[in-house]
Structure 1
Amino acid sequence: MTHDLKPAIPSPGHPAVEAYLAEGYDSVVGMSSRFAAAICARLLRLQTQEGVTGPIAEIGAFEGRFFIALAHALEPGELALALDIFSWPDPGVEQRFEANCARHGIGAERRRTIKGDAGAMAPADLLAQAGGAPLRFIHIDGEHSRAALTRDLALATACLAEGGLIVLDDMLHPGYPTLMVAVQAYLEANPDIVPLCVIDRETIVGATKFVLCQRAWFERYQSRLLEIFKDFVWPLGADFEPHWCLVLSQDTRLAEIV
């Protein structure tokens, strides 16, 4: 089976994101993949085109690698919130986060740093940090335990805007096999939320992400994703029993049957 060559990553849809991914991404310590960052930036552009606007948040911002890409994808006047305990692996991580944001063009007027445990935060407090507006995009990359992910998902759901997206990091990672248990329980308890797509891993550290959306928005978003990412759609998709969604991958081959 032969395959035509395609770009290593899809267009992020924003010149500032494209420049950062090409020239600055690897200089910021972190484990998120460039492939996923490009897709998530393009999802933010898609939201804007669909009339979904407002602030975003990342739970587990670390030194800012993924956060900076997301912030560059925002429209003028939109705010990016960075939530983290900022004590791992050492207390200097918050200073490095702030320095990385400044070095890569995300000024203090475009972001808000929130130090603390997101799982202990009330939805009203997070919304207040966002100026009272619901969040259109929430990336969850916090503590990798079932209990923490369950709390983070509850917070994200309570703060989600109409048409909003929740992105879960390190799904199906061999180091955190029980996270999928928390995700399945969440989906069963929240039938109005469904997987929109799976973003395949780039490496074992640049791991798989799940993108979740409101069920009422699934068809609307899926039709656009099929157009935008047509070169990156793995043909068989993902079966969440009974829900089906797209898989976006750099490698779209199927196994050869001989």
Structure 2
Amino acid sequence: MKYGSGSAAVDHYVNSEYDSVYGMSSQFAAIIAAHVMNRQTKLGISGHIAEIGTFEGRFFIAMALAMQPGERAVGIDTFEWPSPKVRDKLHSHIERLGVRPHDVTILTANSADLAARDITDAVGGQAGGQVRFFHVDGDHTPKALTHDLDLAYAVMHPKGVICLDDMLHPGFPLLTVAVYEWLKAHPDMRVFCVIDREDIVAAPKFMLCRHDAHELYEKDLLDSFPEWHFEAASQWEQWVAIVLTPHPRFAIVE
């Protein structure tokens, strides 16, 4: 299946080069994320992108290719696994796949040791230091995720998006509990979209924004990708979130 985000650079990368970068992020999720970034650009929402858990850069490169002039991409990772050479691979992929190196800042660090000032320093104070799209794929423990959410929240644009990886993953069931508890402590925030990986039974991503910004994204996603809309919405007590998947169906139990 060929995917389209509205960005020629992203679409070429995702459809032709994505598998050349080792990682587990899906093509489908990258396309939806890039589409949301394009939507932000059309709405005049400017800012930077950031990612915790960059690894070799598979998802990071897609986000960086969707940036606008003057914006910066910040990648954060310890770059220890499987060896320190992973950082060299990241830089190699960035140069090979059309991302301008001078628009990128790579922080070799554990996100648990970072504060908001470290992110704003990394973008050089440009665009007020605000991040319009923050992808979180770090240490998969509730404590670490809560810290990463706090970090992303502290630097996010008022109409920005936080994207969380490996939600509902069978290997990390308490991550969803951590998100629920964090949302209770931040009543101005909500989940507005659940992005499936490649199939409705796989571990998806959650997209979060402030309550007063969700209408900027939801209808546009439904209008742009009606064939990927799973009609059974995601229930979050006081609100519902849309679900997008390349195979919208109910699981068949035999």
Q: What corresponds to 2:98 in structure 1?
A: 105
TM-score by length of 1: 0.92
Letter in structure 1 aligned against 2:65:
H
The more displaced of 139-148 and 227-236 is 227-236
Q: What corresponds to 2:110 in structure 1?
A: 117
Tell me if structure 2 keeps the 8 A contact 1:166–1:213. yes
Do structure 1's residue 63 and structure 2's residue 59 form an aligned pair? no
| Cα distance, 1:201 vs structure 2 | 2.4
| Cα distance, 1:251 vs structure 2 | 1.5
Q: What corresponds to 1:234 in structure 2?
A: 230
Question: Partners of 2:17 and 2:194 in 1: how far apart?
Answer: 25
Question: Partners of 2:18 and 2:140 in 1: how far apart?
Answer: 23
Structure 2 matches for 1:67-216, cutoff 5 A?
A: 67-132=60-125, 133-202=129-198, 207-216=203-212
Tell me if structure 1 keeps the 8 A contact 2:141–2:175. yes
Q: Deviations over 1:30-67 (max 9, x none)?
A: 00000000100000000111111111101110000010
Name the count of aligned residue pairs: 249
| Cα distance, 1:105 vs structure 2 | 1.2
Question: Partners of 2:188 and 2:72 in 1: how far apart?
Answer: 26
The verdict on how the C-alpha distance between 1:135 and 1:232 changes in structure 2, with shifts beyond 3 A counting, is same
Q: CA RMSD in A?
A: 1.7
Letter in structure 1 aligned against 2:14:
L
Instruction: Give 5+ residue unaligned stretches, structure 1.
Output: 1-7
Shift >6 Å, 4+ stretches: none
Tell me if structure 2 keeps the 8 A contact 1:173–1:208. yes
- Identity value in percent: 43
Tell me if structure 1 keeps the 8 A contact 2:200–2:248. no
Question: Partners of 2:15 and 2:247 in 1: how far apart?
Answer: 20
TM-score by length of 2: 0.93
Letter in structure 2 aligned against 1:198:
V
Do structure 1's residue 34 and structure 2's residue 34 form an aligned pair? no
Q: What corresponds to 1:251 in structure 2?
A: 247
